[in-house]
Each structure stands twice: as C-alpha cells, then as structure tokens.
Amino acid sequence: MIEVDGSIMEGGGQLLRMATTYSAILSEPIRVVNIRAKRNNPGLKPQHLTTLQAVAKLCAAETRGLEIGSLEIEFHPGRLRGGSFDFDIGTAGSCSLLLQCAAPAAAYADGPIHLRVKGGTAVRWSPPMTIVQRVVWEGLRRMGFQGEVRVLREGYHPKGGGVVEAKIRSVKGFSAISGEKADVRLIRGLSTCGGLPRTVAERQAEAALRVLREAGFEARIDVATPGKGSEPYSPGSVICLWVEGGALIGDDGLGERGKPAEKVGSEAAERLIEQIKTGAYVDMHTADNLILPCSLAAGTSIFTVSRITLHTLTAAEIARRFTGARIEIEGAEGKPGRVTVEGKAIANPRWVG
C-alpha cells in the first residue's frame, strides 16, 4: 500500500485526486492522510467525497473513511470496468475536478464509459467545462485519449445543479506529447450567461474581442444563452478563450456580482495574451493535468509552460512517487519553464481493442 501525505507541497485536493487516479489505474491500494491539511477547512468536502465515490464505482474499490470532514482515507481498487454512471456532487462543487480524477482512470477501463455528473460547471478554483473540452482534453487527445464532454445545463455558485455528460473510450495506453513553441493561428471563445440578460454575455465577448484585436490577434467569440428547460439554478456568466491550433493555452473569466461584464471579458483576454507572449506550448493550469498521463505514456514528453505553478510541482512529485518516472522541471516557480517526463509505458491490461 502506498501512503500519501496530503499536507505536502500544494496541500489541497489535487494530491487526493491524483493518488486516487493512480490507484485505480495501477491497481495499487493507497492510504491518504492529512487530507487538504493546508486549507482553512481541511478534510473531505462534498466534491472530494463524490470524486472518490465516483472512481470507487468505476473500479469497484473497497474504501474506508469516505465521509465529510474525513482527514484520512483508504482506497483498495478492483477492476476498472466500462458502463454508465451518474454522480451528483450535491453542491456547486466542480464537475471539472471530478472529471480530472475520473477521466484518465476511465481510459484504462475494459470498455467505454458514459458519465453524467451534476454540480458546478463554472466555479472558482477550477476550469470551466468549455476549457476542459477545448484545452485540457485536447491535450489528452493528442496523447491518445478518446473522450468528449458537453454541458447540458450550466451550474453556477451557489446552487450548482449543472449537468455534464462525458463519453470516454478505453485506450491501449498513452503516447508522449511534445511542444516547444506556441502556434497561435486564431483565438476562439465562448461567452455565456444564464438567469441574466443576453447582453451580459455579449458585453463580455465584445470587451474580450477589443483587447485581443488591439493586441493584433484574430479572434472569434460565440455568444450563447440557455434554451428553455436548461436554465441554471443560480444566475451567472462565464467567458472562455482558447488558442485554436497547436498551443494548449486557454483562460477564462467568471462573472461576479458588482463586476462589470466588460471587465470580466477584458481581464480574461489580458491573461490569455500574457500567457501567449511567453511563447509556451501549454498554459499554467493545463500543465499539471498533463503530468499524470505523461508519466504513464510510452516515450518522453517535453513541453514548455507559460508559468511553473505549485500545482505542477506537486503533480510531478506525486507522479514520481507512483510511477518512478524521471521528471525534470526547468525554471522557477512563477516563471515560464519546460517540463520533461520520461513515461513508463504503462499499458492498459484490460484493453480489448
């Protein structure tokens, strides 16, 4: 059994999610202690509990300590199997972070998996689902991952209630990814709102377009509002921007009470431009999502990142612990850098073609 101290480095939910994903894929029991010890409210919250329960169902795991507030859990995985599963976080907890944990594990199942998740789709401290589909999962797809996700209803703070549908096919294994320089052909975007006038989404888009075009970029941003029957439980808005083409770079902005829609859009565009100007291939938030599949992949992955974060450094430490992969991160935290991962070529023993 591998024991993980959840208080090291980033000290939050990322350690728990990565350890659980590795446990399911490698069929290695784990004990995680000091869960989220560096947070003001340590222990399992509803989104962490549902994430653990989700992956436990995917692999028929035996578990201990799965309850709200728990500081220690054990996870004894069984066989990853295909099928259809429904999960309800019960709050505005992040659907994208649940999928961050479950999706790589699902790729190592013995058949396709269909997931329906209810919770938050555009909330703080996690990527909106559009960024997951257009940037994070695009990076995974370049490594052999076969998955698509769509939002059936947006879920904003505080009520959540968003509905996400994901379809993931099993793979034989992951392949390495490489990218040294950003290839920026076009910037695409999606600005949405629900429970608010459509003009909110339009103003977000117009402000972002103005900033991007003034910086010399070609950009196209779609505007969307929910149809009848798919309105969110809480009003909210979000704008997602991403590079179309080679680079895996995106950014987003969430609407806030009292914050002008123009500021939401312009700030998202400014953050995206800042990352593009580093010349990196991968953005600061996507990088840590790639470490796990890179450690499992056949071959050596090398990519530049717009900013080294503690999340990326933490992901590398957990990956080394579980796989023994050699991982080098060049550059200082908070600065642009380069990540090299010598994958361990861990194949899916359950893959049937």
Structural domain boundaries enclosing 79: 2-178
Cα 326 to chain centroid, rounded: 23
Q: 228 with 85, same domain?
A: no
Is 80 exceeded by the pLDDT of residue 353?
no
Q: 79 with 10, same domain?
A: yes
Q: Is residue 287 part of a domain?
A: no
Cα 192 to chain centroid, rounded: 20
Q: Is residue 336 part of a domain?
A: no
Mean pLDDT taken over the chain: 96
Q: Is residue 146 part of a domain?
A: yes
* Residue 116, domain CATH: 3.65.10.20
Q: Is residue 44 part of a domain?
A: yes
Q: Is residue 105 part of a domain?
A: yes
DSSP-assigned states of every residue in 281-337: SB-TTTHHHHHHHHHHSBSEEEEEES-B-HHHHHHHHHHHHHH--EEEEES-BTS-E
Is 90 exceeded by the pLDDT of residue 246?
no
Instruction: Check residue 65 and give its pLDDT.
Output: 97
Domain count across the chain: 2
Q: How far apart are CA 60 and CA 23, in angstroms?
A: 12
Picking from 178, 209, 224, the residue at the C-terminal end of a domain is: 178
State pLDDT tens for residues 200-245: 999 999 999 999 999 999 999 999 999 888 999 999 999 999 999 8
Could you confirm whether 157 is annotated as catalytic? no
Q: 75 with 148, same domain?
A: yes
Instruction: Check residue 245 and give its pLDDT.
Output: 82
Q: 169 with 200, same domain?
A: no
Q: Is residue 350 part of a domain?
A: no
Q: 128 with 253, same domain?
A: no
Q: Residue 53 corresponds to which amino acid?
A: Q
State pLDDT tens for residues 97-155: 999 999 999 999 999 999 999 999 999 999 999 999 999 999 999 999 999 999 999 99
Picking from 155, 178, 201, the residue at the C-terminal end of a domain is: 178
Q: 85 with 214, same domain?
A: no
Instruction: Check residue 310 and give its pLDDT.
Output: 96
Name the pLDDT band for 183 (thresholds 50, 70, 90).
confident
Q: 115 with 20, same domain?
A: yes
Instruction: Check residue 27 and give its pLDDT.
Output: 97
Q: Which of 48, 76, 285, 311 is catalytic?
A: 311
Indicate whether this model's pTM tops 0.75: yes
Instruction: Check residue 185 and give its pLDDT.
Output: 83
Considering the chain, what percentage of its residues have pLDDT values greater than 90?
94
CA dihedral of residues 211, 217, 218, 224 (deg, nearest 10): -40
Q: Is residue 110 part of a domain?
A: yes
Q: Is residue 39 part of a domain?
A: yes
State pLDDT tens for residues 262-312: 999 999 999 999 999 999 999 999 999 999 999 999 999 999 999 999 999
